[in-house]
Structure 1
């Protein structure tokens, strides 16, 4: 009887340990996602597009190209993350960011909501943006 009890206790302890590890891993992914999305937000806010581009890695491995002249003429007034939805089991997250900006040729502040899809790469243990920069052209009606 004591052997059966000890075996059951060992199984219980191991299952709690595994559950605790999974919860800790999800917590670490959540912190990493918040850090990455905040760093990306700051890069966009200060028009550091070369830095912002380093956060973009598309899942289909296609290259992301952008019109540097156009983006260099954009001035971001405000960029705030409105919400983050993390789906850690599936390895992706959605981020909604409100961006206020103007183009130097127009001097009219325009708002847009930038919907971002982020995915988690288990190899590098990093989050990447599967998309591109905010679509300023669409918001400007171009």
Structure 2
């Protein structure tokens, strides 16, 4: 009879862990969708708010970078296969972004390697790799 309570405790722990994982996964999907939509609209200033606050404070987006972002229009944001888990609290995602220079109308594509981290305290996913580097060739 002593086994039944311990089995119930074990099942409860597994059920709670499953719920936490599902909640984290749903929050990741919501965050990645919001970030992708923000970039699709070319709103790099708002996209910067997805960056981990500690990283954002240590490495603020420069005025030069903001001016560069204003010179392009995002025409495609392809997140392909979606995020790939690194561990329980980190994922990576490779995104192909097509950009048009608003002055020259020339189009080019870049690859953005994103890393996202789940902060257990704030229960929030944060971008740790920074905004896309639109200066890459």
Normalised by the size of structure 2, how large is the TM-score? 0.89
* Cα shift at 1:50: 2.0
Map 1:76-115 onto structure 2 (within 5 A): 76-82=74-80, 83-89=82-88, 91-115=89-113
Q: CA deviation at 1:88?
A: 4.6
Shift of 1:138: 0.9
The more displaced of 18-27 and 62-71 is 62-71
Conservation of the 8 A alpha-carbon contact between 2:113 and 2:129: no
C-alpha distance in 1, partners of 2:29/2:79? 10
Q: Where does structure 2 lack aligned partners over 5 or more consecutive residues?
A: none
Q: Which runs of 4+ in 1 moved over 6 A?
A: none
Residue from 17, 21, 25 that aligns with 2:16: 21
**CA RMSD, 1 decimal:** 1.6
Partner of residue 42, structure 2: 47
CA shift for structure 1 position 96: 1.3
Confirm or deny: 8 A CA contact 2:45 2:66 kept in the other structure: no
TM-score (norm 1): 0.86
Is 1:33–2:31 an aligned residue pair?
A: no
Which has more radius of gyration?
Answer: 1
Shift of 1:39: 0.6
CA deviations 1:64-107 (Å, max 9, x no partner) are 31421110111000112112112452x11101111111112332
The alignment covers a number of residue pairs equal to: 133
Q: Specify every segment of 5 or more residues in structure 1 that has no aligned partner in the other structure, as ranges.
A: none
